[in-house]
Amino acid sequence: MTAALNRAKSAILPGVPKQSHSSRPLTVSIVGPGNLGTALALTLPSAGYVVKFIAARAKGITSRETTCLARRVKARLVTLGKEPLDSDLIWITVPDDAIAATALRLARTQDWQGKIVFHSSGALTSDDLAPLREQGAKVASVHPGMTFVRGPAPQMLGVAFAVEGDPAATRLAKRIVADFGGTTYAINKRNKVLYHAFGSFASPLVIALMASLERVAKAAGIEHDDVKAMMLPLLRQTLRNYFQHDAASAFSGPLARGDVATVRRHLEELKAVPEARAVYIALANAAAKNLPVKNRKAMQRELKSRE
């Protein structure tokens, strides 16, 4: 992961390296053209791969976004499970709860000997593709450590992908990720759920924290349009300190100073925003346990008395 961290620290460069592994480009089917599936469909051609099919549920196949995506990457748009996906790789990017059912549905549609199948769940293992493995496919879970939302797809350059599964499938995953300009990390099956929780702390829970920040800003009389401008320099420098050093070195504020009275006043006023107050207490307790907090015992007593 050192290489991934070095890439993350460096400036993102434009462009994606082309594959040069065979005379015939490898063909790919994307099953589930949501945010992640769309990003992969747009990135694969830039890396030298051919998106041959995009498979969607019947109610989603006529959506404007899906039809535009298929047209843009020159893929054939098909209804999931209605016909064979005649490509070298089938990449399943449906929500986690639908992966096992999708694998079972696909297993009945074609001969899977010689095919490779990925899913991109961060929490589930390649075993959720067992119906396809039993039919002769080589399978792997290939999860990008990146956030995907509506709007322009993020670049895959420098992104770390957690990979586990059958050897032939993981070899292909490593090749594709290298062609994206990303890095791969071999993840043990038993660690996948905690790995995914780790990723949740890095993105969605950070956004949940930002939502709490906005609620406190509103309670403090700060205009909504001013919040981002006020916080951006602070957030940027905090992350810069963390990536240049470590969590302990980046830690500052009343907890680091051991200012129990200020924390007490915070918690008193935060009664006006109870859900944010609960977040504050949880994070402050974590800080008191894991970071260099002065007056640690007094701080912990204060936090416990306010729970």
Nearest to 140 by CA among 162, 121, 176, 165: 165
Tell me: pLDDT of 1 over 50. no
Question: What is the maximal distance between C-alpha atoms in the chain?
Answer: 70
**pLDDT value at position 142?**
98
For residues 43-63, average pLDDT: 92
Q: Label residue 307 by pLDDT band (50, 70, 90).
A: confident
**pLDDT value at position 62?**
79
Quote the CA–CA distance of 19 and 101 in Å, as a whole number: 32
Nearest to 91 by CA among 21, 150, 142: 142
Quote the CA–CA distance of 222 and 235 in Å, as a whole number: 17
Predicted structure pTM score = 0.87
Strand order in the sheet with 89-92: 76-79, 50-56, 27-31, 89-92, 116-119, 138-144, 160-165, 183-186
Q: Looking at the chain, how many residues does it have? A: 307
Structure tokens at 213: 């920040």
pLDDT tens digits, 241-254: 999 999 999 999 99
pLDDT tens digits, 55-76: 998 877 878 999 999 999 999 9
Average model confidence (pLDDT) across the chain = 92
Q: Label residue 153 by pLDDT band (50, 70, 90).
A: confident
Quote the CA–CA distance of 168 and 137 in Å, as a whole number: 10
Q: Label residue 287 by pLDDT band (50, 70, 90).
A: very high
Helix (H, G, I), strand (E, B) or coil at 201: helix
**pLDDT value at position 168?**
98
pLDDT tens digits, 74-120: 999 999 988 999 999 999 999 999 999 999 999 999 999 999 999 99
Quote the CA–CA distance of 24 and 138 in Å, as a whole number: 20
Percent of the chain with pLDDT over 70: 93
